[in-house]
Amino acid sequence: MSTPAIDTKDDLIYKQFLDALIKGDRNQCSRVSNALLERQASVQDIYEDLIRKAMYDIGELWEQGKISVATEHMASAIAEALINEFYVKVIAGQKINQTVVVGCVENEYHQIGIKMVADIFELNGWNAHFLGANTPTREFVQFVEEIQPDMVALSLSLYFNLPYLEKMLQAIREEFPELFVLVGGQAFRHGGKEVLNAYRNISYQPDLKSVELFIKKINNHG
């Protein structure tokens, strides 16, 4: 008899995970996430309902001065280590002939969200080239020129880095007028989505589940 799936949105489970993350208890964070996997939770649900939610809450605690920069960095390191643990499950699926280049805009050092986005693409069969944090605009565009992907995905976590996103979008549009660009990140909680309206073929996606629905729509309909 199979074990029934557990709800990744369970408040008690989430609180256990968030508390362990803030305390720097990597073992407890790993136990919580692996217990969810054993209870048939998907990698996507753990990413969305546990890791992404926790990192957003930790970001807000830092902005409010309730936790230190050191604590925020420690929590980020643990979250990224957990994502790396899941990668063996991410690469197991069948690949399709679609490629995406994903990364953070220049001066943006929070790469956990976009790393999970890269994994969501991989889980849906895409070949994802993950460039990580603080990728200079010129080098990012040069890499896109080399790879010739079907799509680009960009992350913006801090609102004051919005000018760097605009710089990146302008550079991409100059070289690739029709290339589709997916954009997201915690920064847009504070506004800035109107900036995207100035560019063609830009899609803002607010969370990982919306990203996956968007990818599935493309996979099914092109």
What's 16's domain CATH number?
1.10.1240.10
Q: Where are the alpha helices (DSSP H) in the chain?
A: 11-23, 26-38, 43-46, 53-63, 69-90, 112-123, 137-147, 162-175, 193-196, 208-221
Classify residue 122: in a domain, yes or no.
yes
Rounded Cα–Cα distance for residues 130 and 134 (Å): 12
**Residues near 15 by beta carbon (within 8 Å), at least 6 away in sequence:** none
Domain closes at, from 54, 71, 90? 90
- 42 lies in the same domain as 150: no
Classify residue 139: in a domain, yes or no.
yes
Query: Are the C-beta atoms of residues 109 and 134 closer than 8 Å to each other?
Result: yes
Query: Are the C-beta atoms of residues 134 and 157 closer than 8 Å to each other?
Result: no
Classify residue 217: in a domain, yes or no.
yes
pLDDT at 6: 52
Sheet holding 180-184, edge to edge: 127-130, 99-104, 151-155, 180-184, 202-204
- 175 lies in the same domain as 83: no
> What is the extent of the structural domain holding 56?
11-90
- 54 lies in the same domain as 128: no
- 70 lies in the same domain as 110: no
pLDDT along the chain (222 residues), means of 10: 54 94 96 91 92 93 94 95 88 85 95 95 95 95 97 94 95 96 92 91 94 93 70
Classify residue 4: in a domain, yes or no.
no
- 67 lies in the same domain as 173: no
Query: Are the C-beta atoms of residues 143 and 179 closer than 8 Å to each other?
Result: no
Question: Tokens in use for 4?
Answer: 């029934």
Of 38, 134, 21, the residue nearest 73 (C-alpha): 21
pLDDT at 4: 43
What's 121's domain CATH number?
3.40.50.280
Classify residue 6: in a domain, yes or no.
no
Domain closes at, from 66, 90, 114? 90
- 210 lies in the same domain as 107: yes
Work out how many domains the chain is built from and give that number: 2
Rounded Cα–Cα distance for residues 152 and 172 (Å): 9
180, β-bridge pairs: 151
- 144 lies in the same domain as 41: no
Domain closes at, from 90, 125, 149? 90
- 108 lies in the same domain as 74: no
pLDDT at 46: 94
Which of left, alpha, beta for 150 (phi over 0: left; psi -120 to 50: alpha)? Answer: alpha
Question: Tokens in use for 55?
Answer: 């990192």
pLDDT at 2: 41
Q: Tokens 């603080």 correspond to what residue?
A: 134
- 127 lies in the same domain as 69: no
**Residues near 132 by beta carbon (within 8 Å), at least 6 away in sequence:** 103, 104, 111, 114, 115
Classify residue 69: in a domain, yes or no.
yes
Largest CA distance in the chain: 57
Rounded Cα–Cα distance for residues 122 and 211 (Å): 12
